[in-house]
Chain A
Amino acid sequence: MKKKYCIAVTGLNAIDSPGPGIPVIRGIRDSLLFDSRIIGFAYESLEPGIYMHDVVDKTYQIPYPSSGTDSLLERLNYIHSVEKIDIIIPNFDAELYSFIKLEKTLNSMGIKLFLPTMEQFEERHKVNLPAFGKKYGIKVPFSREIFNISDIFGLTRDFTYPIVVKGKYYDAYIAYSAEQAQAYFNKIAAKWGLPIVIQEFIKGTEYNVTGLGDGKGNTIAAVAMRKQYITDKGKAWGGITIEDNDLLGITHNFLSKTKWRGGFELEMMKSSKNEYYLLEINPRIPAWIYLAVGAGQNIPEALVRLALGEEVEPYKAYTIGKMFIRYSWDMIVDIDEFQKISTVGEL
Chain B
Amino acid sequence: MKISKNVSISENGFIFNPTTGESFTVNPIGVEIINFLKENKTEADIKKQLLDKYNTDSATIEKDYYDFMHMLKASNLLDTSAE
Contacts and interface: CB of A to CB of B under 8 A. Distances in A.
Interface of A: 205, 207, 225-226, 228, 239-244, 320-321
A321 B19 CA distance: 10
Interface in B16-45: 16, 18-23
Nearest to B6: A243
* Most A CB within 10 A of own CB, among B6, B16, B19, B21: B21
7 contacts: A207-B21, A225-B21, A240-B23, A242-B21, A243-B18, A243-B19, A244-B20
Contacts of B22: 226
A205 B21 CA distance: 11
A240 B23 CA distance: 10
A205 B18 contact: no
Nearest to B8: A321
Contacts of A321: 16, 18
Nearest to A247: B19
Contact of A205 (B6, B16, B20, B23): B20
Contacts of B18: 242-243, 320-321
A277 B18 CA distance: 20
Nearest to A240: B21
Nearest to B16: A321
B20 A226 contact: yes
Contacts of A207: 21
Contacts of B16: 321
Contacts of A320: 18
Contacts of B6: 243
The 6 closest A-B pairs by CB, nearest first: A226-B21, A242-B21, A243-B18, A320-B18, A240-B21, A244-B19
Interface in B24-68: none
A228 B21 CA distance: 8
A256 B14 CA distance: 38
A6 B62 CA distance: 68
Contact of B19 (A225, A228, A239, A242): A242
